Amino acid sequence: MGDEHEAASRHMPVMRDRCVDLLAPSLDHAGAVAIDGTLGMGGHTEAILERCPQARVVGIDRDPQAIALASARLARFGDRFLAHHAEYDDIAGALAVAGVDRADGILLDLGVSSLQIDDAERGFSYAQDAPLDMRMNPEDPVTAADLLRDLDERELTRILREYGEERFAAKIARSIVRRRETEPFERSAQLVDLVRACIPAATRTQGGNPAKRTFQALRIAVNRELEVLERAIPAAIEGVGVGGRVVVESYHSLEDRIVKRAFAAGAESQAPPGLPVVPEADQPYLRLLTRGAEKASPEEAELNPRAKPVRLRAAERLRPTPPERLRRNA
């Protein structure tokens, strides 16, 4: 495979056609509006705009560079594409940009983009030495270097264990706290070397670069990824009208758990079993469109490593959420 081909497959939106298949039925009418909460390089949005000629798409991204690049790429669609620089829980802001109360489809393709990883200076990659930054939005106040300087050992351990699923979290955290007394962490190579030294040689050969999990954990913490997602999923469910669809691609078990729970809560009847007539407030307000979580095909996962961990879930709005249920779910 040539470099060009490799680059093209790395930039290929994950499960692109499946996402569009799931969204298209709700976007096939005049005035339809979709929100792509994770615009990135605009690959998913482009596919939606091509397949659904009546739809407009509002693309949200917290990364101004993604907004600029995707806007240039999508310029040929004129005012069918609208950009919104924000975090993706700002569904209300995106609706206001389109001038509607509810969207017909919302897509979230979580995590970091290959554009961000490929730009060494942004510090996401353990493969290249760069400043320890990792902010998706360069206007955000806290960098990875700040966390490595300020967090106590317990919090560092928690982050590495929970977000990185790192077996040696306690050892790495202890080592960070000791090392920073004499040498502040500024560059990714310092952290890569420290993690390598903490991980026993026998386990080092398995699972690629030993620093991979530590970098993932810090990235999730720097960008408050789970915190924003916890707010975004209910906002997305409330942000689509009846018949509207929400499609989410997760790459981490904690992300997928948030999505799974919120969808399950909406798809279940809340009535006690055996009730002859289920009150409106207890009826499901979502219909699940995927059985469990869907994965990428083996062919796609082989071609694009980013597709390997993906878990795709989708749901359709059946009725407005009864106010009692909204209060209960809060």
Listed ranges 38-46, 182-190, 286-294, 310-318: which one lies at the site for ligand SAM (CB under 6 A): 38-46
Q: How far is the CB of 232 from ligand SAM (least distance, A)?
A: 7
Closest to ligand SAM by CB, 137 vs 270, is 137
When asked if residue 247 is in the footprint of ligand SAM (CB under 6 A), the reply is: no
Whole-Å CA distances, 206 to 202, 239, 271? 8, 43, 48
Q: Angle 166-291-257 (CA atoms, 0-180°, nearest 5)?
A: 30
Alpha-carbon span 146 to 143, nearest angstrom: 5
Site string for ligand SAM, 307-326 (x = CB under 6 A): --------------------
Residues in contact with ligand SAM, counted by CB under 6 A, come to a total of 19
Q: Out of 48, 136, 192, 218, which residue is the one contacting ligand SAM (CB under 6 A)? A: 136
Q: Out of 177, 189, 228, 267, which residue is the one contacting ligand SAM (CB under 6 A)? A: 228
Closest to ligand SAM by CB, 43 vs 266, is 43
When asked if residue 234 is in the footprint of ligand SAM (CB under 6 A), the reply is: no
Closest to ligand SAM by CB, 42 vs 105, is 42
The residue among 328, 329, 330, 288 whose CA lies nearest residue 312 is: 288
Listed ranges 54-62, 76-84, 126-134, 154-162: which one lies at the site for ligand SAM (CB under 6 A): 54-62
Q: Out of 15, 57, 58, 61, which residue is the one contacting ligand SAM (CB under 6 A)? A: 61
Listed ranges 59-67, 179-187, 212-220, 288-296: which one lies at the site for ligand SAM (CB under 6 A): 59-67
Q: Out of 18, 40, 234, 245, which residue is the one contacting ligand SAM (CB under 6 A)? A: 40
Cβ-closest position to ligand SAM: 40
Show the tokens assigned to 212.
Answer: 């991979």
Alpha helices in the chain (DSSP H): 3-10, 16-23, 43-51, 64-73, 91-98, 114-118, 144-150, 153-164, 169-180, 188-198, 201-204, 212-222, 225-239, 253-267, 298-303, 323-329
Listed ranges 33-41, 98-106, 118-126, 171-179: which one lies at the site for ligand SAM (CB under 6 A): 33-41
Closest to ligand SAM by CB, 98 vs 228, is 228
Q: How far is the CB of 124 from ligand SAM (least distance, A)?
A: 10
Whole-Å CA distances, 118 to 5, 7, 192, 216? 16, 10, 17, 15
Q: How far apart are the first and last CA of the chain?
A: 50
Alpha-carbon span 57 to 37, nearest angstrom: 10
When asked if residue 63 is in the footprint of ligand SAM (CB under 6 A), the reply is: yes
DSSP bridge pairs for 36 = 59, 107
Alpha helices in 223-283 (DSSP H): 225-239, 253-267
Is the CB of residue 117 less than 8 Å from the CB of residue 45?
Answer: no
Q: Out of 81, 88, 163, 185, which residue is the one contacting ligand SAM (CB under 6 A)? A: 88
Alpha-carbon span 323 to 305, nearest angstrom: 43
Q: Out of 34, 52, 56, 87, which residue is the one contacting ligand SAM (CB under 6 A)? A: 87
Please give the residue ranges that form the binding site for ligand SAM (CB under 6 A). 13, 38, 40-44, 60-63, 66, 87-88, 109, 111, 113, 136, 228
